[in-house]
A and B are shown apart, each in its own frame.
Chain A
Amino acid sequence: MNITSAQFESDDNGDNVSIQATIEEQVLSVPLDPANRHYAEILKQVADGTITIADAD
Chain B
Amino acid sequence: MALSKVNPNFVGETAIGRRNLAINGDMRIAQRGATTTAIGQSANYFSLDRVKLFNSGGAGATYTVSQETDAPTGFTKSYKIQTTTADTSLPAASYTILRLATTEAQDLLRLGWGTSSAKSLTFSFWVKSNKTGDQTILAVTHANMQQHVKQKFTINSANTWEKKEITFVGNTGTAMEDGSAMGFGIDIFLAAGSNYQGGTTSLGVWGTRAATDKAADTLNIANSTSDYFQITGVQLEVGDTATDFEHRSYGEELAACKRYYQVVSASPTFGVDNIRARMSLSFPVEMRGTPSVSQSAVVVLANPGVGNVTQSGVSFSIAGVSTNRGGTYQLANLSGMTESKIYHFGQSSGAALLQFDAEL
A interface residue numbers (CB < 8 A to B): 1-2, 9, 11-12, 17-18, 20, 24, 26-31, 33, 35-39
Q: In the bound complex, do residue A36 and residue B358 qualify as a contact, i.e. CB atoms below 8 Å apart?
A: yes
- The reply to whether B318 and A9 contact each other, CB–CB distance below 8 Å, is yes
A18, B318: Cβ atoms closer than 8 Å: yes
Q: Which of B256-293 contact A (CB under 8 A)?
A: 288-293
23 A-B residue pairs with CB within 8 Å: A2-B41, A2-B43, A9-B317, A9-B318, A17-B318, A17-B319, A17-B322, A24-B42, A24-B44, A27-B294, A27-B315, A28-B292, A29-B294, A29-B317, A29-B318, A30-B292, A31-B290, A31-B292, A31-B322, A33-B290, A35-B288, A35-B290, A36-B289
Q: Which of A2, A20, A24, A29 has the most CB of B within 10 A?
A: A29
Interface size class of B (residues with CB under 8 A): 20 to 34
Cross-interface CB contact of B318 among A1, A2, A31, A35, cutoff 8 Å = A31
Query: Are B320 and A12 touching (Cβ within 8 A)?
Result: yes
B164: shortest Cβ distance to chain A, in Å?
Answer: 29
What A residues does B357 contact at CB under 8 A?
Answer: 28, 38
Given contacts A17-B320, A39-B292, 7 further A-B contacts (CB under 8 A): A9-B317, A17-B318, A17-B319, A18-B317, A28-B357, A29-B318, A31-B292
Q: How far is the CA of A29 from the CA of B98 in the complex (A)?
A: 26
- Whether, in the assembled complex, B181 has its beta carbon less than 8 Å from a beta carbon of chain A, the answer is yes
CB-CB under 8 A from B42, the residues of chain A are: 2, 24
A35 and B289 in contact, given A11-B319, A29-B316 (Cβ under 8 angstroms): yes
Which of A11, A12, A17, A38 sits near B292, CB closer than 8 Å? A38
A46 to B358, CA, bound (A): 21
Chain B residues near A17 (CB-CB < 8 A):
318-320, 322
**A40 and chain B: residue at smallest CB distance:** B181
Q: Which 10 A-B pairs have the closest CB atoms?
A: A29-B317, A35-B289, A18-B318, A33-B290, A31-B290, A28-B292, A11-B320, A30-B292, A29-B293, A38-B292
Q: Is B51 an interface residue (CB 8 A)?
A: no
Q: In whole angstroms, how far apart are the Cα atoms of A31 and B316 in the complex? A: 13
Q: Flag B278-312 by CB within 8 Å of A: 1 or 0 each.
A: 00000000001111111000000000000000000
B187 at the interface (CB under 8 A from A): no
